[in-house]
Homo-oligomer: A and B are copies of this chain.
Amino acid sequence: MALAGEFDIIARIFAPLAKESGALGLKDDAAVLTVTDDHQLVVTCDTLVSGIHFLSDDPPASIGYKALAVNLSDLTAKGAHGYAYTLSLALPRDTQMDWLEAFAVGLAEVQDLTGISLIGGDTTATTGPLTITITALGLVQHEAAITRLGAKPGDRLYVGGTIGDSCLGLRLLKDPSLAKIWGLSEEDVIYLTECYRRPPVGTVEALLVRNFAKAQIDVSDGLAADIEKLCAVSHVGAEIEAGRVPFSAAARKALEAAPDLLPDLLSAGDDYVPVIAVSESSADLFESEVEEQGVDFAQLGTVTAADGIRVLDERGNELTLKNKGFSHF
C-alpha cells in the first residue's frame, strides 16, 4: 500500500507505540512529562542515514530496532534507563505503508525490552535517503549519572560486551563470499549480521555502570578511538591489551582464519557497548557482581598517566591502527 497522509501514519503506525500518558496519544504538538525531584534527565540524540548507518535493503524491523537501540546504548552507558523518545522520519516519497509497519515492529521490540515509550516526533518527505533521528530521554537517580569525565591513572578499563561483531556482520552482508574465507558456519553468519542490525540495548549493564563506573563511554566510533576520547577529557592515557578484548565465538573463528582483521575490529565501531573506568579499590567487588549477574564485562587494560593510548599485542608489541575509528566525513 502506498503512503497515506501524515495523520494516518501517526494514527495507524505510531500511536500504538505511545504508551506514556504524557505523549497525549500523539494527538498534540508536544508531549508533557513529569520528572520527579529524585531523578535527573539524560538526553541523547542519534541520526541514521540509509546507505551510511544501515543498508537500504536491511529488513525494516531491524532498522527500527537499530535506530532506537543505539540511543539506548548511550543511556545505558550513563547508568540511566530509557524513559521516552521523539522520532523524526524524513521519508522518500516511494516509502510503502507496510515498510513503516515493519519498521514500527522493530521500535516496539526495543520498547518492550527497555520500557521506553514514543512521545512525539515529525514525519516529512525528502528527496534524499531515508533519514531517522531519535532523541531519547532517560532517567537516572539524582547525581548518579556517569559522565565521560573522571578516569584516573591506575583505574581499570572494562568493556561490557564483545567487539567487532557488527563490523564483521556488515562485511558479510556486503560480500557473502567472506563466510567461506573466514571459515564461518551459516549460524555464525546469522549471528554476526544480527549483531550489525540489532545492537545491544544493555539494560542490565546500566545498573552496574551506575554503581561502579567513575567514567564511561559508549563504543560507537571504534574501541580504540572511543577509549582515547574517554581518556582525553580527563588528561590521561590508556594501555589496552588486544589479547584481553572480548570477541564472540564467531569473531574468534574469523580472526583465526584472518589474523589481519584484528586492527580493523578494534577500530571499526558500531559496537554499542559501554567502556568504563573502575577504580582499583572497587575492582574486586565489581568483578564479583559481574560474575553474579552473568553480565559480560571484561577488563581490557588500565588508565595511565601518559597521554594517548597504546594497544599491545600478545607479545607486548604496540599495534598500529591505521584508522582509530569511524569518521563521519
Residues of A bordering B, CB below 8 Å: 3-6, 22, 24, 27-37, 40-49, 51-53, 74-75, 77-78, 80, 84, 86-90, 93, 119-129, 131, 133, 135, 137-138, 140, 142, 145, 147-149, 217-218, 220, 233, 327-329
Contact = CB atoms under 8 A, between A and B. Distances in A.
A30 B74 contact: yes
A121 B49 CA distance: 15
Nearest to A44: B30
A126 B123 contact: no
A253 to B, nearest CB: 32
Given A47-B122, A126-B49, A327-B6, A32 B28 contact: no
In the A-B complex, the 4 residue pairs with the smallest Cβ-Cβ separation, listed nearest first, are A128-B128, A135-B135, A30-B44, A45-B86
A218 B30 CA distance: 10
Given A30-B74, A46-B122, A328-B125, A88 B88 contact: yes
Contacts of A43: 30-33, 84, 86, 119-120, 137
A238 B120 CA distance: 27
Contacts of A149: 24, 27-28
Contacts of A145: 32
A328 B124 contact: yes
Contacts of A140: 32
A145 to B, nearest CB: 4
A118 to B, nearest CB: 11
A63 B54 CA distance: 28
A34 B41 contact: yes
A233 B27 contact: yes
Contacts of A129: 126-128
A140 B75 CA distance: 25
Contacts of A52: 124-127
Contacts of A34: 40-41, 142
Nearest to A221: B6
Nearest to A130: B128
Contacts of A90: 47, 49, 90, 128, 131
